[in-house]
Each structure stands twice: as structure tokens, then as C-alpha cells.
Amino acid sequence: MALEQLKSDNDVIAAIATPPGTSGIGKVRLSGAEALEIADKIFVSPKEINLTEVVSHTINYGFIQNLKGKKIDEVLALVMRAPKSFTRENTVEFDCHGGMLPLKGVLQAALAAGARMAEPGEFTRRAFLNGRIDLIQAEGIIDLINSKSSKSREIALQQLQGRLSEHINKIRQQLLDISTAVEASIDFPEDEIPDFTFSELEHKLMSIKEELEELIASSKTGRFYQEGIDTVIVGKPNVGKSSLLNYFLDEERAIVTQVPGTTRDVISELITISGLPLRIIDTAGIRKTDDQVEKIGVKKSQDSLKTADLVLFMLDVSQGITEEDKEIYNLVKDKPLIILINKTDLSVDLAAEDIKRQFSEDQLVFISVKEERGLKQLKEKIYSLIMDGKTAADYEYLITRMRHLKALQNSQESLERAISAWQAGISTDLFAIDLREALIALGEITGETVTEDIIDKIFAEFCIGK
Ligand SMILES: Nc1nc2c(ncn2[C@@H]2O[C@H](COP(=O)(O)OP(=O)(O)OP(=O)(O)O)[C@@H](O)[C@H]2O)c(=O)[nH]1
Ligand SMILES: [Mg+2]
């Protein structure tokens, strides 16, 4: 669907843009063609300023009063006229006192004066529909707000600034040039495309395909930055799982005792390792038990393995490898796995030798949480396992979203079909169709070609007021 058909309505939308609770300042935002007129109905200033008359991008002191003339809050009104605002519409932002009552009062006054409640993400949706940002940038905004590490923030900010969009648009333009030439040539009697020789065109298509492949390859890393890596610590009771969680967090988050079966519930906390966001999940030690509560805990431990991106399987070196360890190993052996041999501060040389024989050495890390030994190596191992020997700096562009990945894969598949068709000398018409499909898939990423469904889904991720 063309973007023009999705243009927003003419309503003035309003919302509280700051989180619920108390704070120094809270914001109420209005956007739409008549935003200044509506704001004027509730804004009074000692100097009798009318917001419809002030210069754009000025801050104006005054009060909000409801339509009955009752004062609600003392505010600063920031006026931004179209098109120089986030939504490209006339916008007023009231800086209010940051309590729920003043904020709700101001919002209600705005609604009574003719605005309507904004839907989640509707300000950003308008920014998109009015051409200020594309879809990649809109998603960059959500990712920036939700970023889980400074590296994730950096990636989201680059996306918001349009770096990835530029790159995708460049690839799209190359494809468009070819597609246009091909379509123009369809009416030519001989099967030739005037702007390109056979090998030139093949070469260009190949190089576009390589660029798509590079983006697709970056997505494994990229998605980890955006979503975080679910890292589950498992092992039999008492091996030191909760101690490791506490070490990572640098606080006594989980209860640690010498009693096996201390942890009963799944505990999940976010940490970062060299900018990679990891959700560390401490679980109940897995063993056969008749204890009702512990049983549920063990079941939860097993469940959390299902969605794990990485498993840290922990053993206690002082006990060697027990039957329980072997059973747990069978549950985790096909997962991305690091085997942690803990408590190496205890004297245990024989057991260590046995363990080395049983497991592949590159999966093993010998540690002592108690004496903080081997933990730097553990972090390095986690990083290199997740990153597959690469770092974020190895990729010029990182694909962080599933939606982008799918569209890139679709585009690449169509392009591959186009290349084979070209090489096989199949009719230009069919070749042109594949090219067009590759183009449409690429256009979905930036929002050049999208359906209303996709747009609804993206903006539903936002909060109200953004
Ligand atoms: N000597 C030694 N003791 C450790 C080490 N790490 C943990 N411990 C001790 O081992 C005991 C169990 O530690 P936890 O962290 O509670 O073990 P857990 O695996 O979470 O146990 P459950 O929650 O029961 O499954 C505690 O007494 C810890 O102090 C270590 O590196 N060396
Ligand atoms: Mg525990």
C-alpha cells in the first residue's frame, strides 16, 4: 500500500509523555493541525500570551485551567510549529509538575478542549506517516528507549539517525536501476537490456546479493544486542550456581547456603559483558526430590532450558562427575554450552583430570567463585561463543530485528531466483518479476512498501505519549 493512503486523521492527539509516578517534571504533549488553538483554550499567561501567536520553538510561562476557569497547574508551554516538530505537525508540550494529579488534570483539560487521547506510539506513527522518519528509524526509537546495554543504545541511536536506512536505500536504488532498465527492455524485440551487457548485469546482481548476505549474517549478533541473551545456569544442587549469579551482579541477590536445594525459584537479572546484554537466569538445582516446592523449582529449571540461548552447566570439582551430573548433561548437551567446573579452590587434581577426559576441553572453564578465579576467562568465553569469534565492530551494519531479517531473506531469495533466471536465459518478463519482488521486500524494511498490519504491529510496541 502506498504511504499516502495511510495518512493519519486530522485529530489533535494528546497524552502524558512521562512515566506514572512522581517526578520533578511531567510532560503533556499535543500534536495536530489545531494543537495550538486547543492549547490556547486551556493556557493562560500573566502576560496574556496566545500560543497561536508566539514564535515557533519558544517556551512560554503560564497556567493550565480547565474550561470552567479553574487553575490546574503552573506550566511552561513549548510551542513547535509544523513542519519543525517531531510529528511535523503543530505541537505543544506542557512541562507540568510531575505528579499524577496535575498531569491527569492537564490532560483532561486538553481532552475537554477538543483533543483526543493518543494511541500508543501515535506521535511516532505520525512522524513516520508525515515522512520525518522511516520505519527503521521508528524502530530505532523503541530500541533506544528499551536498550539494555550501552552498546545496544549506540546501535539503536545509529539506527535512529538513519545509518541503516541509508545503506538499505542504497542497495534498493541499485536494484531499482536494474529493474527499471529491465522493464523498459521488455518491449524490445531481441532479448537484450540496452543499459547493461550480460556480464555487467550478472556482476551487479551478484554484488547486491553479497551485500544482502552480509546484512543477514550480522543479524545473529545484532538480535542479541537488542533482545539480550538468555543465559541459564544449571547444575545439581549446591554446586555454586547462585554464588555465580551474585558474583555477576556484585550483590547478594540470591540466597546462598551450604544446604542443597536452597534455590527454589527461577531468578533472572540483566548484566552486560563487553556491551552484550545477558539475562542471567539462576535455577533450582536439578535432582530427584519428594519435596513439593523443590519439585516445582526443578520443573521450572528444566523449562528455562528450552528457551536458553546459552547454558552454563556447573559441576562441583570436589565431587567429581556424579550420576546426577550425567543426567543433567544429557539435557543440555545440544545447547550452546559452557561447562563450569567450580570450587577449584578445594584440592581436587584427580577429579579435574577425569573431567578433562569426559568433556571436550574447549567447553570447559575451571573456576572458583569463592576465590574469584577463572571468572575473567569465563566472561571472555561467553563473549566469544556468542559472537562466534566476531565483535560488533566486525560488522558495518547490524540487523537487530526479526522483521528486517525476514524481509532481507525474502529479498535475497527473490534475487537468487532472478540471477538463476538471468543465467538460464529465461524470458525477461519472469526475470523482471523476481527483481520486482526483491525490491518490494527491501522496501518493507524502510516502510517504502508496507501494509497497515505491519505498521500497527510496530507502533503497538510503543508506550502512550511516544
Ligand atoms: N569452596 C567453595 N565453595 C563454594 C564456591 N562457590 C560456592 N560455594 C559454596 O557452595 C555452597 C552452595 O552454593 P550456592 O551458590 O547456594 O549453590 P547452588 O548451586 O545455588 O545451590 P542450590 O540453590 O541448592 O541448587 C555455599 O556454601 C557456597 O558458599 C567455591 O568456588 N568454592
Ligand atoms: Mg542456588
- Cα(199)–Cα(283) distance, integer angstroms: 58
> In the prediction, which pLDDT does 4 show?
57
Is the CB of 256 within 6 Å of ligand 1?
yes
DSSP conformation letters of 399-413 = ---HHHHHHHHHHHH
Nearest to 9 by CA among 89, 120, 110, 94: 89
Is the CB of 130 within 6 Å of ligand 1?
no
Is the CB of 343 within 6 Å of ligand 1?
yes
Bridge partners of 270, per DSSP, are 279
Rounded to the nearest angstrom, the distance between the alpha carbon of 286 and the centre of ligand 2 is: 10
- Which helix (H) or strand (E) segment holds residue 423: the answer is helix 402-424
Q: Which domains does the chain have, with CATH numbers?
A: 3-133 (3.30.1360.120), 140-223+401-446 (1.20.120.430), 228-392 (3.40.50.300)
Is the CB of 243 within 6 Å of ligand 1?
yes
- Contact status, residue 462 vs residue 121, Cβ threshold 8 Å: yes
Residue 94's alpha-carbon distances to 47, 60, 120, in angstroms, are 17, 9, 19
- What lies within 8 Å, CB to CB, of 284 at 6+ separation is 237, 261, 263, 264, 265, 266, 294, 297, 298, 300, 301
Is the CB of 102 within 6 Å of ligand 1?
no
Residue type, 281: I
Rounded to the nearest angstrom, the distance between the alpha carbon of 344 and the centre of ligand 1 is: 12
> In the prediction, which pLDDT does 85 show?
98
pTM of the model: 0.81
Count how many Cα atoms sit within 13 Å of the Cα of residue 320 in the half-sphere of its side chain: 8
Give the residue whose CA is nearest to atom 27 of ligand 1.
258
- Contact status, residue 422 vs residue 202, Cβ threshold 8 Å: yes
Is the CB of 374 within 6 Å of ligand 1?
no
* Three-state DSSP state, 62: strand
Q: Which three cell numbers stand for residue 334?
A: 545440544
Is the CB of 264 within 6 Å of ligand 1?
no
Rounded to the nearest angstrom, the distance between the alpha carbon of 466 and the centre of ligand 2 is: 40
Nearest to 310 by CA among 362, 243, 384: 384
Q: Ligand nearest 261 Cα, by number?
A: 1
- Contact status, residue 301 vs residue 313, Cβ threshold 8 Å: no
- DSSP-derived letter for residue 220 is H
- Cα(215)–Cα(408) distance, integer angstroms: 8
> Which residues of 212-293 form beta strands (DSSP E)?
229-234, 267-273, 276-282
Q: Which of 238, 244, 343, 348 to mutate to test the pocket of ligand 1 (most atoms within 8 A of CB)?
A: 238
Of ligand 1's atoms, which has the minimum distance to the CA of residue 260? 24
Give the residue whose CA is nearest to atom 8 of ligand 1.
240
486538553: which residue's cell? 110
- Cα(299)–Cα(118) distance, integer angstroms: 43
Is the CB of 27 within 6 Å of ligand 1?
no
Rounded to the nearest angstrom, the distance between the alpha carbon of 339 and the centre of ligand 1 is: 16
- Cα(262)–Cα(246) distance, integer angstroms: 14
> In the prediction, which pLDDT does 422 show?
85
Q: Which three cell numbers stand for residue 300?
A: 521450572
Rounded to the nearest angstrom, the distance between the alpha carbon of 319 and the centre of ligand 1 is: 13
Cα dihedral angle (355, 356, 358, 361), rounded to 10 degrees? 130
Q: Ligand nearest 314 Cα, by number?
A: 1
Prior bond of 194 cis (ω within 30°): no
- Contact status, residue 310 vs residue 229, Cβ threshold 8 Å: yes
Rounded to the nearest angstrom, the distance between the alpha carbon of 344 and the centre of ligand 2 is: 18
Of ligand 1's atoms, which has the minimum distance to the CA of residue 285? 25
Rounded to the nearest angstrom, the distance between the alpha carbon of 228 and the centre of ligand 1 is: 26
DSSP conformation letters of 79-127 = EE-TTSSSSSS-EEEEEEEESHHHHHHHHHHHHHTT-EEPPTTHHHHHH
Q: In the sheet where 364-366 sits, what is the strand order?
A: 267-273, 276-282, 229-234, 310-316, 337-342, 364-366
pLDDT profile of the chain (466 residues), mean per 10: 63 95 96 98 96 98 95 98 97 97 97 96 94 95 91 93 96 94 75 71 93 94 89 97 97 94 94 92 94 92 93 94 94 95 83 83 94 96 86 83 95 95 84 93 92 88 87
> In the prediction, which pLDDT does 356 show?
84
Of ligand 1's atoms, which has the minimum distance to the CA of residue 369? 31
Is the CB of 242 within 6 Å of ligand 1?
yes
Is the CB of 347 within 6 Å of ligand 1?
no
Rounded to the nearest angstrom, the distance between the alpha carbon of 235 and the centre of ligand 2 is: 9
- Cα(367)–Cα(340) distance, integer angstroms: 7
- Cα(446)–Cα(138) distance, integer angstroms: 9
